[in-house]
A and B are shown apart, each in its own frame.
Chain A
């Protein structure tokens, strides 16, 4: 049973560029949440998608956007990258009413 799959695993981008990260949820899960984790910090909630709509959003600017597809997979897009966007981006899947999340291994984004 495949868990949560994220791609790519590592990415280096230049300030001002745009990036797209991808996530396939665990089988049986219909909800995808994205978190940003800076070095030495806990994961910070970006947004959550359910039924192809953004259901909840954390305290992140509009440069961060996302999408969920009919097969429940999801993308995270970040525009106009800043150096401070360098972090580990985590995707977590769950059932909408479920307890606890299953996390992927993350995408390490470095902005130079």
Chain B
């Protein structure tokens, strides 16, 4: 069974204080790993897809990296508008392609 564990559950940062969110996964052959941002009461908004170990993707202050066991979402010099819940999901090969989600990390950036 595919499993996704995100840590920490919650993170409070001061504006400009860089940090990283972790997503550890267990899957029988990774087809893709996804990061989403979710604002309160809204649907998840797609950020990145990573396909293989060593791959990195960047978007503004966010950078996602992937190893064979985990992914990191690095947030550089965050701003209050980066406050949201960040969700990680994995999609396995040779199966239903149904993404399995973690519980998310709730990020609050204080001005």
A interface list, Cβ under 8 A from B: 4, 6, 33, 35, 40-45, 48, 55-56, 58, 88, 90, 97, 99-106, 108
* Contact count band on B: 20 to 34
Given A56-B96, A100-B34, decide whether A106 and B43 contact each other with a Cβ distance below 8 A. Answer: yes
Select the stretch in B56-64, B66-74, B75-83, B99-107 that faces chain A. Answer: B99-107
> Distance in Å from the Cβ of B49 to the closest Cβ of chain A?
5
Interface set of B (CB-CB < 8 Å, partner A): 4, 6, 31-32, 34, 36, 41-46, 49, 51, 87, 91, 96-104
Which of chain B's residues have a CB closer than 8 A to the CB of A88? 41
Which of B41, B43, B97 meets A104, CB within 8 Å? B43
Given A43-B101, A99-B91, A100-B46, A48 contacting B96 (CB threshold 8 A): yes
Residues of A with C-beta under 8 A to B41: 88, 106, 108
Are the CB atoms of B98 and A103 closer together than 8 Å? no
CA of A56 to CA of B95, assembled, Å? 10
